[in-house]
Amino acid sequence: MNELKNPDNSNLPKGVYITVTPAGKTLYRASVTHRGRHISLGSYPSVKKAHSAYLSAAQILQNNSITLNDFQDFRALKYEKAVSLINFRDNGLYFRTPIYLRKDHFNYFLSPDEMFSFDLEDLFYFASHSIQKRGGHFFVSDYGSQITLGTRFGLKTYSVTGRDNHFINGDDMDFRRINLEISNIYHGVVLSDDKRSYIARIHTSGYTRIGVYPTALEAAIAYNKAVDILRKKGSDKKFPENYIGEISGKVYAEIYNSLTVNPRLSQK
Return all residues near 70 (Cβ < 8 A) that are at least 6 apart.
Answer: none
Residue 143 counted as domain residue: no
pTM: 0.73
Asked if the structure places residue 65 within a domain, the reply is yes
The reply to whether 137 falls in a domain is: no
What's the CA gap between 44 and 15, in Å, rounded? 12
* Structure-model confidence comparison of residues 53 and 158, the more confident one: 53
Q: Based on the structure, what is the number of domains in the chain?
A: 2
Does any domain span residue 229?
yes
- Which of the four pLDDT bands, split at 50, 70 and 90, describes residue 267? confident
Interatomic CA distance for residues 211 and 229, integer angstroms: 14
pLDDT at 186 over 80: yes
Q: What is the pLDDT of residue 124?
A: 96
CATH code: domain of residue 25: 3.30.160
Domain boundary among 91, 107, 131: 91
* Highest mean pLDDT, choosing among 8-17, 26-35, 170-179, 237-246: 170-179
In the structure, what pLDDT confidence band is assigned to residue 9 with cuts at 50, 70 and 90? low
Domain that holds residue 242: 196-267
Q: What is the pLDDT of residues 215-241, one digit of tens each?
A: 999 999 999 999 999 999 888 888 889
Residue 22 lies in a domain: yes
Q: Is residue 70 part of a domain?
A: yes
55 vs 172: CA distance, rounded Å: 36
Any domain includes 102: no
> Is the residue at 134 inside a domain?
no
Query: Which of 46, 71, 91 represents a domain boundary (last residue)?
Result: 91
Ramachandran area for residue 183 (φ above 0: left; ψ -120 to 50: alpha; else beta): alpha
Q: Which of 34, 60, 91 is the last residue of a domain?
A: 91
